[in-house]
Amino acid sequence: MNDDIVEVRAVDKATLDGLKAWGWISYLLHLIVAVTAVIPGAQVSVLVLVVALVIDLVKRSDAQGTWHESHFSWRLRSVIWAGILYVVTAPLWLLFLLPGWIAWCVISIWFLYRIVRGMIAMNKQAPLPV
């Protein structure tokens, strides 16, 4: 049995198109946050990330049983893990400036990778691993 297979339910085209539109909006907001996270001094307001998270949380239930479901979960997991990693590595900033900076750069690049990978899969209309 392949665990990467997502069960797809029958959904009308308008619903799928709506989910795709919301997915792209969320990905673009995440992309803005991810790109500015890797550019020193270019961080955008946390409000952009909060808007993207609200979209993902609200529309996630509408996507259940479609290939879009994996994208909503992917974005939520990406933000949660990045947040946890930022919090865990925050003491490095207080103790040692360079290791803290390196850790946050690595986390930011990983987050950017996850968003770009998701966008590529979305463009192919392909689910992501759950």
Q: Are 19 and 59 in contact (CB under 8 A)?
A: yes
The pLDDT score that the predictor gives to residue 10 is 65
The pLDDT score that the predictor gives to residue 6 is 47
Which SS3 state, helix, strand or coil, does residue 39 take?
Answer: coil
Q: Which amino acid is at 108?
A: S
**pLDDT reading at 98 higher than 70:** yes
Please state the domain extents for the chain: 13-123
Its pTM stands at 0.83
Q: Are 108 and 37 in contact (CB under 8 A)?
A: yes
For residue range 44-93, what is the model confidence (pLDDT) as tens digits? 878 999 999 999 999 999 999 999 999 999 999 999 999 999 999 988 87
